[in-house]
Amino acid sequence: MAEISRATLFGKLNPLMFKSAEGAVTFCKLRGNPHVDLSHWLFQIVNLPDSDMHRILRHFEVDTARLVRDFQTTLERLPRGASAIEDFSEHLPYAVKEGWMYATLLFGESQVRSGYLLVGLLKNDRLRNVLTRISGEFEKVKVETLTEDFARIVKGSPEDGQAASDGFAPGTPGEASQAIPAGRHGQAGGAAALRLRSDGARARGPDRSGHGP
């Protein structure tokens, strides 16, 4: 049975999200963790200068100092001592799929922003449990309010106006879909995607070519 490849899936991340996912892979390797966990990625996003997520956390008065401490506690509980990264945690690509679903079906966008990722995490019961185990501060984010007033909450975010890293952008109604020229957002068009082996073999890290290591 055909499956959605990770190259296709991660290619839907906008450039800010893609770079933070690359950072999560590097962070995981430096810490000696065997799997890239959702906490690695979210911690990278929270440590960016600005994003949708920063604006959402401020809007819902999340205690960011406590949030960071909770992330650090979660990360310290992960297994250590791995000489190489084995794979992504199952929650990470699952979260991207949920973010992509809400991006396209609810917000009509071609990119996965950090705000859409957060909506997907909060809307899915399984992922919401993972998120709130990382930090109870995420419970302050009211997802219905977020979805209804998303544009105002994240207005001015650096993710405004970005597109999917694979270069795909939907055409206007009645027009064919268009691809943004490769390199416009610092990615290699449709080939720009993270990929780790899913067959249990040791992985070398992010592969921007779309081909296996």
- Interval 83-134: pLDDT, tens: 999 999 999 999 999 999 999 999 999 899 999 999 999 999 999 999 999 9
Which domains are seen in the chain, by residue range?
6-191 (1.10.1780.10)
Higher pLDDT, 107 or 203: 107
pLDDT at 54: 98
Residue 21 has a pLDDT of: 95
Q: How many alpha carbons fall within 13 Å on the CB side of residue 182? A: 8
Token digits of residue 180 = 């943004």
Q: What is the pLDDT, as a whole number, of residue 1?
A: 55
Look up residue 136 and give its two tokens: 């109870």
* Residue 169: pLDDT band with limits 50, 70, 90: low
Residue burial 119-148, b: 16+ Cβ < 10 Å; e: rest: bbbbbbeebbebbeebbebbeebeeeebbe
Q: At what angle do helices 114-123 and 125-134 cross, to 10 degrees?
A: 110
